[in-house]
A and B are shown apart, each in its own frame.
Chain A
Amino acid sequence: KAGVTQTPRYLIKTRGQQVTLSCSPISGHRSVSWYQQTPGQGLQFLFEYFSETQRNKGNFPGRFSGRQFSNSRSEMNVSTLELGDSALYLCASSPGRRQGSNGRALYEQYFGPGTRLTVT
């Protein structure tokens, strides 16, 4: 199976602009989660989509939004970019449903390579 793909891999924007990042999950996976990663901060959860519906949301301002399409592909949008938005944005996909009685592989997430966003 092909892995999770993210586009673009690198992006440079200026303050005030907006940006859209794309994520294609593993075929058959219906859950897509987005994370922001900055040095020393670890992974900060942005939101999770399952079957085109936002299932969970982290503590980020409304400038950060997302959506999921019927083919499970997801996009994340950041409006009015700030310098502090410079980070690695990771997308992760998972089946999103129970697969076994012991719960294994239930919520294992497979990460894409990420999009490195630099805001100047």
Chain B
Amino acid sequence: GQNIDQPTEMTATEGAIVQINCTYQTSGFNGLFWYQQHAGEAPTFLSYNVLDGLEEKGRFSSFLSRSKGYSYLLLKELQMKDSASYLCAVRDSNYQLIWGAGTKLIIKP
């Protein structure tokens, strides 16, 4: 079966750095996505990785290792508005998106 694993919940302090991990087992790989979802809102796109390595976009970075079936989302200089759920999704060989259950990130002052 296909599986995406992420921690259920994480807590971090405002101004700090947090790393959210995602491991996957899918039939084929055609890219990995990270989305942010605030409570009661729709998910919004954060990043896309298809090749190994680090993609940096402002305070957010995403890393991919295809051989390990592993990705992480790195959030720097945390702000209270970063409190949200972070969803990891992998597109499989059928180009279908497989979603993780999401990681709820709680930011404390």
* B residues contacting the other copy or chain, number (CB 8 A): 22
| Interface-centre pick from B42, B45, B97, B102 (highest chain A CB count, 10 A) | B42
- Interface residue count for A (Cβ, 8 Å)? 25
Q: Which residues of A contact B48 (CB under 8 A)?
A: 104, 108
Number of interchain pairs (Cβ within 8 Å): 51
Interface residues as binary, A16-43 with B (CB distance below 8 Å gives 1, 0 otherwise): 0000000000000000010100001111
- Tell me if A90 counts as interface (CB < 8 A to partner B): yes
Which chain B residue lies CB-closest to A58?
B96
Interface majority SS (helix, strand, loop, mixed), chain B: loop
A44→B102 CA distance, assembly (Å)? 12
Q: With A33-B97, A42-B102, A108-B33 known to touch, is A102 a contact of B50 (CB < 8 Å)?
A: yes
Interface centre among A44, A58, A107, A108 (most CB of B within 10 A): A107
Instruction: Name B residues whose Cβ lies closer than 8 Å to a Cβ of A.
Output: 30-31, 33, 41-45, 48, 50, 87, 89, 91, 94-102
